[in-house]
Each structure stands twice: as C-alpha cells, then as structure tokens.
Copies of this chain bind each other. A is one copy, B any other.
Amino acid sequence: MTTAAHPGKRATTRETILDHAYELARRDGLEGLSIGGLASDVGMSKSGVFAHFGSREDLQLAVLDTGRRRFVTRVLLPALRQPRGLPRLRAIVANWFEWGRDHQSGCVLLSAASEYDGRDGALHDGVVRQQSGWRDELQKAIAQAVELGHLRSDTDVALLAFEIYALMLGLHHDAGLFGFDEAGRCTTAAFERLWRSWQT
C-alpha cells in the first residue's frame, strides 16, 4: 500500500514529497499539513503533489505510515538484533530515547495520537492501529524478559508497558517545552528506578 510503484534505484517523486511532508508535519501536525504549503516546499505545483495521493486524507495517511516505518527502522529493528529479554527491552528504550532526541521539534506519531484520539475516520483508525501495534511489540519484549527470568515473575506486562510509554511521553513533552537536556536527565533517572523496581 505504501511501497513505491517502481523499484527504481533513484528516489521517486512520491518519496521526495513524503520526506518534505514528514518534516512539515513534525512542526504543524498532520492537520496543519496543507497541499499548497507542501507543494511550494517541494518546489512543485499543487496539482502535481495532489495527483500522487488523490486526496488530502490519503496524503496524511501516507505521512503517518512514513513515520511508522521510520520508527520501526530506527527503534524496533535494531533492538531485535539484541538477545531476547532485558537486553532487547533496554535496547528498545535506548533507541526510543535517541529517537526522542532527534524529534525534539515534534514527533508525527505522537502529535497524530493527540490530534485524532477524539474523532473518528481513517486517520483515527490508523493511529489506533499503529499505537496498539507498537504497544503489542513492547509487551512482547517485556513478556520475553519475564520468561527468561530477567524481570520478576509477577511482572504486570501491560502495566510495565504503560509505565515505559508514559516516561517516553514525559520525555517528548518536557523536551519540547523545557529543552532536551533536563528532560533527558529525568527520563534516564526514572528508567533506572523503573528497571530496579521490576528486576529480579
């Protein structure tokens, strides 16, 4: 659905557009993304950009999926090369932390979550699907750490996933408002306390 039409080696125009759209959406959110503004940013005509997606909503969905793919590539996939259990879980958190450092000026996935959580439509469904999918991955990694004895056997998997996610929300929130340095310090300290409280 989101793959390029042609497997050519050079970047397709659609990918170039999505690169720019992703950056614009980081600042203004998916709702703040306009086709006219995107077109002038890319250096194309409005209709030329529009033709690649067919509707604004499809453009927003494509940008959302771009964010999801980048997040998976940067955060999840590298961690999967770590051994199962706590090492992999901590790698996920470490990669996520670095993702937060690179996304101080806004994360499309998080802003989309707060933009569409109260509405309905394709964007809402896409956000929910993406967020619950990521939560599942998180819980899977936690469950493996429990099975391997790296975390206490009475660990509440859903609760720990919630706590991890909450700390990352705190990181993004504080980094955006007060700067990454202090936010990162608190987040790191909070994670140390979190690991200690669940570790065997």
Interface residues of A (CB under 8 A from B): 26-29, 31-32, 104-106, 110-111, 113-115, 117-119, 127-128, 131-132, 156, 158-159, 162-163, 165-167, 169-170, 173-174, 176-178, 182-183, 186-187, 189-190, 193, 197
Contacts and interface: CB of A to CB of B under 8 A. Distances in A.
Nearest to A103: B118
Contacts of A167: 163, 166
B113 A176 contact: yes
Chain A residues touching B, majority SS: helix
B162 A174 contact: yes
Oligomer: number of copies? 2
23 contacts: A29-B29, A29-B31, A29-B115, A31-B32, A105-B118, A106-B117, A106-B118, A114-B173, A114-B176, A117-B173, A132-B177, A159-B186, A162-B174, A162-B190, A163-B170, A163-B186, A166-B167, A166-B170, A166-B173, A166-B190, A169-B169, A169-B170, A169-B173
Contacts of A111: 114-115
A158 B177 contact: no
Interface centre among A104, A166, A176, A178 (most CB of B within 10 A): A166
Contacts of A197: 193, 197
A165 B173 contact: yes
B131 A177 contact: yes
Given A162-B186, A197-B197, A176 B118 contact: yes
